[in-house]
């Protein structure tokens, strides 16, 4: 791996917090994600199961974690299974973690090879009263491929039909929602690398460059700083393409007079930043572009103020909608009387701002705590309002990552240029 491993104490504490929530004689079993195939004999790059990483710190395929806090044998209360390196694997793939390395990285005392899982599985299942199994319970997940964990859940139910089987997600997701100081440090590093990438672009973007060239500049900056690459497929959208929310073709030529929307960020040690900026390709905003930009910036600042402990995201979004509607009226895009008379189920602002303002951020870009839970101190949210005027070929979005505090929030991207004057000045200076 490129990144410096997180300290084992972090993962020890995560397991301890989960153990405190478990009922007596509860056994927890988590599996690594599959290595997914492409075509012929190809495979995609490996992405670890976020929940397994959160509890173990192991970023390797074929890993299994078993937690049994009440196991009669103290050595069985935490068992980590890792893939054993063979001569064939060493030649073709490289060395895997040794047991000692896995022990040091995870803080789990008992580390054995994955090939030994079956014997421990039978032994501990016979001692447990309740089994907690894991699955992807993100409400927006598209579960079109059966995961290793779902296959194992089906097997477990078949082989042990008299056991009580419970979902791990309702216990684990709230824990992942509150970020520890160490997690904040990893997010700050991802944000720092993201900042350097964006500042680099301010000196590179000009009429005639292509969106894929801009993507390449970002990739170079991220990788040379030991990031894990892009946190998500980057959106580099010039002109009217900025009105396509998930545009990532990134093939077009940047034209003089257009706005370029850049939604791209780095990941570091499996923790993700999430940044969006909208900049003028030629280095200067037109009057209309600046008016829309300043409107989005005002919505951004109001949104940051509205996020606070105890707030429900649904209610927060309604307040952001009211601010956005006022800005759209001021821009001449909405009629004030029509807004006053609108159907609450079909608000008019959604013609120009059709997505949510905020989502959780962490190991996953759209992190897992349920959106209907109140905001709590220690959570990290994006704030990303936008205005998309398709009839003008103009789309502007601004996004930073915000750490919720008890009395005041912290903008983890406060040092990334966002004011229109600052962006123009930096682009001019770089040229």
b/e map of 383-405 (b: 16 or more CB within 10 Å)?
bbbbbbbeeeebbbbbbbbbbbe
CA distances from 329 to 278, 344, 352, 394, 427 (A): 21, 17, 11, 17, 31
Question: Annotated catalytic residue: which of 366, 373, 376, 411?
Answer: 366
Q: Locate tokens 């962490």: which residue?
A: 362
- What does each of the 431 residues of the chain score in pLDDT, given as a tens digit? 678 888 999 999 999 999 999 999 999 999 999 999 999 999 999 999 999 999 999 999 999 999 999 999 999 999 999 999 988 988 898 889 999 999 999 999 999 999 999 999 999 999 999 999 999 988 888 888 889 999 999 999 999 999 999 999 999 999 999 999 999 999 999 999 999 999 999 999 999 999 999 999 999 999 999 999 999 999 999 999 999 999 999 999 999 999 999 999 999 999 999 999 999 999 999 999 999 999 999 999 999 999 999 999 999 999 999 999 999 999 999 999 999 999 999 999 999 999 999 999 999 999 998 778 899 999 999 999 999 999 999 999 999 999 999 999 999 999 999 999 999 999 999 87
Domain ranges, ordered by start, for the chain = 8-176, 181-430
Q: Indicate if 183 belongs to the active site.
A: no
Query: What percent of the chain has a predicted confidence (pLDDT) above 70?
Result: 100
Residue 199's pLDDT is what?
97
- Burial zone of 24 (CB within 10 Å; 0-12 exposed, 13-18 middle, 19+ buried): exposed
Q: Residue 376 catalytic?
A: no
15, 195, 360, 397: which is the annotated catalytic residue?
Answer: 397
Write out the E strands in 151-299.
164-167, 235-238, 259-263, 267-268, 271-272, 276-280
Q: Which of 220, 246, 251, 431 is catalytic?
A: 246
335 is annotated as an active-site residue:
no
The residue annotated as part of the active site, out of 220, 224, 355, 429, is: 355
41 noted as active-site residue: yes
399 labelled catalytic: yes
246 is catalytic: yes
This prediction has a pTM of 0.95
The predicted structure's pLDDT at residue 1: 64
pLDDT score recorded for residue 141: 85
256 is catalytic: no
Q: What is the pLDDT of residue 193?
A: 98
Domain 181-430 top-level CATH class: alpha beta
Cα first-last separation, the chain: 36
Query: Which CATH architecture does the domain made up of 8-176 adopt?
Result: 3-Layer(aba) Sandwich (3.40)
- Which pLDDT score, from 0 to 100, does residue 3 have? 85
């Amino acid at each position: 791996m490129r990144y410096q491993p997180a300290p084992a104490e972090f993962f020890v504490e995560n397991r301890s917090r989960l153990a405190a929530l478990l009922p007596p004689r509860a056994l927890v079993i988590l599996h690594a994600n599959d290595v997914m195939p492409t075509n012929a004999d190809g495979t995609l790059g490996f992405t670890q199961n976020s929940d397994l990483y959160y509890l173990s710190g192991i970023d390797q395929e074929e890993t299994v974690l078993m937690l049994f806090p009440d196991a009669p044998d103290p050595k069985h209360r935490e068992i980590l299974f890792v893939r054993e390196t063979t001569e064939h694997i060493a030649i073709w793939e490289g060395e895997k973690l040794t047991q000692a390395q896995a022990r040091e990285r995870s803080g789990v005392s008992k580390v054995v090879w994955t090939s030994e899982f079956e014997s421990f599985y039978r032994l501990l299942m016979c001692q447990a009263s309740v089994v907690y199994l894991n699955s992807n319970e993100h409400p927006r997940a598209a579960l079109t491929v059966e995961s290793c964990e779902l296959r194992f859940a089906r097997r477990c139910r078949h082989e042990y039909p008299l056991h009580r089987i419970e979902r791990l997600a309702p216990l684990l997701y709230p824990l992942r929602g509150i970020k520890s100081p160490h997690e904040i440090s990893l997010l700050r590093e991802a944000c720092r690398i993201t900042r350097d990438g964006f500042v680099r672009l301010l000196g590179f973007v000009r009429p005639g460059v292509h969106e894929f060239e801009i993507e390449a500049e970002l990739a170079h900056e991220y990788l040379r700083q030991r990031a894990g690459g892009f946190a998500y497929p980057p959106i580099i959208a010039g002109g009217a393409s900025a009105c396509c929310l998930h545009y990532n073709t990134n093939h077009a030529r940047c034209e003089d007079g257009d706005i370029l929307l850049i939604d791209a960020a780095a990941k570091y040690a499996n923790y993700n930043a999430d940044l969006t900026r909208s900049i003028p390709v030629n280095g200067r905003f037109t009057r209309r572009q600046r008016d829309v930009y300043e409107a989005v910036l005002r919505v951004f600042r109001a949104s940051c103020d509205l996020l606070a402990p105890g707030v429900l995201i649904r209610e927060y979004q309604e307040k952001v909608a009211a601010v956005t509607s006022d800005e759209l009226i001021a821009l001449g895009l909405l009629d004030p009387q029509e807004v006053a008379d609108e159907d609450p189920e079909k608000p008019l602002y959604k013609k120009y701002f059709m997505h949510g303002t905020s989502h959780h951020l962490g190991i996953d870009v759209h992190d897992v705590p349920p959106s209907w839970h109140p905001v709590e101190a220690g959570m990290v949210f994006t704030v990303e309002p936008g205005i998309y005027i398709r009839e003008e070929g103009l789309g502007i979005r601004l996004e930073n990552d915000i750490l919720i505090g008890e009395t005041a929030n912290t903008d983890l991207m406060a040092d990334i240029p966002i004011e229109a004057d600052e962006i123009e000045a930096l682009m001019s200076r770089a040229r």
